[in-house]
Amino acid sequence: MNNLALFASGSGSNVENIAKYFKKNNSTNISCVYINNPNAYVIERCINLGLPYKIFTREDFYDSDTVLSHLNELKPDLIVLAGFLWLIPSKIVKAFQGKIINIHPALLPKYGGKGMYGMKVHEAVVQNKDTETGITIHYVNEKYDEGSVIFQKSCAVTEADSAEEVAHKVHALEHEHFPKLIEDLLNK
């Protein structure tokens, strides 16, 4: 049985999508959803889906081994950042080298780095009059959005598209491709 650990900070739509995808697959289990925001809607999604979750603080993550120890106990085959906004500490990156992936709502290296997430990315795409955007799934290293790219998929952006419309297109790509790519990585 493959074990997944998910990390999320916000609404959790990717968490829900991944959970529903793997519910049909008896060979993959979501061991835990790690959440750094005690007010995030992803908690409701976890409760509704029956997913185990753990809320942690900045201190748990950066200043102690609380999260790392819990991950070591779970022994996940893959750690998936599904809308998680904090930089992963080097101690976790080193302990799970090549086993942590992230999805970014743009075609990296464009619109990556600290502070570039969610609507900020889509607003930048519209403001710069880009004709395409998309998703990037990449391995995680000690820097924001700089790990090796695993997969990219693009979509067209028209002059008439608002940032909200771009976000909708990008979410559709995330939901279509992210679970499949996770499954492919687990089956390697």
The catalytic residues are 104
Q: Is the peptide bond before 109 cis (omega within 30 degrees of 0)?
A: yes
User: Cβ distance 125 to 98 under 8 Å?
Assistant: no
User: Cβ distance 135 to 104 under 8 Å?
Assistant: yes
Instruction: Give the CA radius of gyration of the chain.
Output: 16
Biggest CA-to-CA distance, the chain = 50
Cα angle 83-9-131, degrees, rounded to a multiple of 5: 30
* Interatomic CA distance for residues 57 and 60, integer angstroms: 5
* Interatomic CA distance for residues 132 and 172, integer angstroms: 14
Nearest-10 crossing angle of helices 163-186, 118-127: 120
Give the 3-state secondary structure of residue 5: strand
